Chains A and B, each alone.
Chain A
């Protein structure tokens, strides 16, 4: 691993005359603030509306300062709100999403690690071609795979099950995790593998004792990438599951219209935020490593 050498980043804005520096800093910060507001204002509006009573929203519109603040809509959204015929709130679908995203993330990352290890350190005739084919999956639009998957899931008896979605996401995710891991492992010197082979270690022992301990940066990248991708994925969930078996992203589509009667904007807003929390949480915890893992190549 590269040693952490304390250094100061080059700061092009702190050169030039005093006036120039003030001017350039101000313009940069202004521009960044405008963009940040552009991203964050919708989030803030939704958050505020989760706390406002429905009649207040109807009366004074969606964009207004709250008067009567209450957390009860969060509770309703979680456990009692009626979505698509069931009145258990989003908790059920939240659990569905967890049951789908966690195993699929673990499986696709684990298989990607082994694939990357083989394709970088145990090359064989045609391994580069195989890698090319696996990476093709990165560029293949998900819509193209819908029909084949429907066929496979039907044959396996996994239609409308969470297990079916786990299978789909594991396989679909392999392209990414294999690409990440292989490109990361390529930078691990081959001499380490040779030394370990002379030391009497076999395929799995080298993987476990030498490759895996060097892998945390790329594991974090793969886990964040896979988890957010699978959690936020919507197409497969909507097409292959229905009713009580849907993941949360598909379930909350029910809000988008078609419903009759009154719209519970506050409860729906709370449900939407709940659906967004896990990826946000993962990114907040691991984001630092994510950027580092994506940009850091060399393992020394």
Chain B
């Protein structure tokens, strides 16, 4: 059991700073997902934790021990690579014992570890095969097995599922979650897939352009994103952003959509009371927070909703839900609705927007208000 602490970490390649002042801490047994678009620095950060890349400045502590200058082998970590990186000329068994051999673990103890892990991952029948004789999912298991036999302080995963096909990816995702619950090791998991991050992690670190944007629980990241980038990156289909202006009336604060008909959409009472009138603002609404106007879904849960008229431009059925491409006023938006109640293309429909769930962003700083 062990913790991870990253303090004021910076990394530069020449004059290019790829990691800017990262602060992150994971408690023992926690599952941290590093998520972000390609080039955001998440893989570099993982390599630095592993010791495969050097630190420009800042501290990395595993179990409170400063490991900045320790070699990868002395950090007591195990890593699962995107390419699996199984040694092609060795059998599955040899792949798994290689690390223990390098550390001079006694043979009997090696055998014990192999037995334990291969039973856990159900790879006993594969032990004498070469990696080239395995399917993608089997290689993935063996790669995890190689990490597990060592019983390290920290597990590092570098986009482990991105080479699998869609169905297998979901299966393995569940297995990784189950595995983490069984083993309870502190884990850092890099992914560009926000669904993987949401489903697996106890805390998510969203990164963009080398900056840690937000580090919080999946629920908070989804419901209270700190800025427009986090809001748009997490969630699929992505959040809608509608330009609006603040309007004050005696009943409270409201919004007027920039491309709308001029009607005032009241904000839930008691919130945003300090917004200056006529200030420009961006209203963020997730696709699933639109619901048919008559159902009053938000009100039944004690929330508050406003009605918006939307013209349906295109309908995309996905099976479990139907995605509507609509125009609200003059701006495009995406709405997710139940397939049974989906309007047809060309209809103009009234939707209730759950304002308790909506986010407001500053158009200039893009921070959430």
Contact = CB atoms under 8 A, between A and B. Distances in A.
Q: Do A and B come from one complex?
A: yes
A214 B50 CA distance: 26
A189 B72 contact: no
Given A3-B132, A209-B98, A197 B71 contact: yes
B85 A195 contact: yes
Residue from the set A196, A198, A299, A300 with the largest chain B CB neighbour count within 10 Å: A198
A205 B71 CA distance: 16
Residue from the set A189, A191, A200, A201 with the largest chain B CB neighbour count within 10 Å: A200
A192 B103 contact: no
Interface stretch (B75-83, B206-214, B252-260): B75-83
A189 to B, nearest CB: 6
A300 B88 contact: yes
A194 interface: yes
Interface in B78-95: 78-79, 81-83, 85, 87-90
Contacts of B65: none
B102 A201 contact: yes
B135 to A, nearest CB: 13
A195 B146 CA distance: 10
Nearest to A211: B89
Contacts of A196: 87, 98
A31 interface: no
Nearest to B102: A200
Contacts of B85: 189, 191-192, 194-195
Contacts of A61: none
Contact of A214 (B73, B79, B89, B146): B89
A210 B101 CA distance: 14
B137 interface: no
B363 interface: no
Nearest to A205: B102
Contacts of A209: 87, 90, 98
Interface string A134-147: 00000000000000
B271 to A, nearest CB: 49
B80 to A, nearest CB: 9
A200 B88 contact: no
B52 interface: yes
Nearest to B75: A198
A1 to B, nearest CB: 6
Contact of A199 (B52, B73, B83): B73
Contacts of B77: 198
Contact of B88 (A1, A197, A198): A1
A213 interface: yes
A299 B78 contact: no
A210 B89 CA distance: 7
Contacts of B132: 1, 3, 300
Interface in B83-123: 83, 85, 87-90, 98-99, 102-103
A200 B103 contact: yes
Interface residues of A, number: 20
A192 B52 contact: no
Nearest to A191: B85
Interface in A1-46: 1, 3
Nearest to A216: B89
A1 B51 CA distance: 29
A3 B132 CA distance: 8
A199 B147 CA distance: 9
- Counting chain B residues whose Cβ lies within 8 A of the other chain, the interface size class is 20 to 34
Given A1-B132, A209-B98, A195 B79 contact: yes
Contacts of B82: 191
A194 B81 contact: yes
A191 B103 CA distance: 20
A191 B85 CA distance: 5
B73 A210 contact: no
B87 A200 contact: no
A200 B102 CA distance: 6
A191 B72 CA distance: 13
A126 B31 CA distance: 40
B89 A198 contact: no
A117 to B, nearest CB: 15
Nearest to B80: A195
A55 to B, nearest CB: 61
A195 B143 CA distance: 10
Contacts of B90: 209, 213
Contacts of B81: 191, 194-195
Contacts of A3: 132
B89 A197 contact: no
A195 B85 CA distance: 7
Nearest to A213: B89
Contacts of B52: 194, 197-198
Interface string A228-254: 000000000000000000000000000
B98 A197 contact: no
B87 A198 contact: no
Interface in B7-66: 50-52
Contacts of A197: 52, 71-73
Interface string B311-353: 0000000000000000000000000000000000000000000
A199 B88 contact: no
17 contacts: A1-B132, A189-B83, A191-B85, A194-B79, A194-B81, A195-B79, A195-B146, A197-B52, A197-B72, A198-B77, A198-B78, A201-B73, A209-B98, A210-B89, A213-B90, A214-B89, A299-B88
* 7 interchain residue pairs of minimum CB distance: A199-B99, A200-B102, A191-B85, A213-B89, A200-B73, A195-B85, A191-B81
Given A192-B88, A198-B99, 7 more contacts: A189-B83, A191-B83, A192-B87, A194-B79, A199-B102, A205-B102, A214-B88
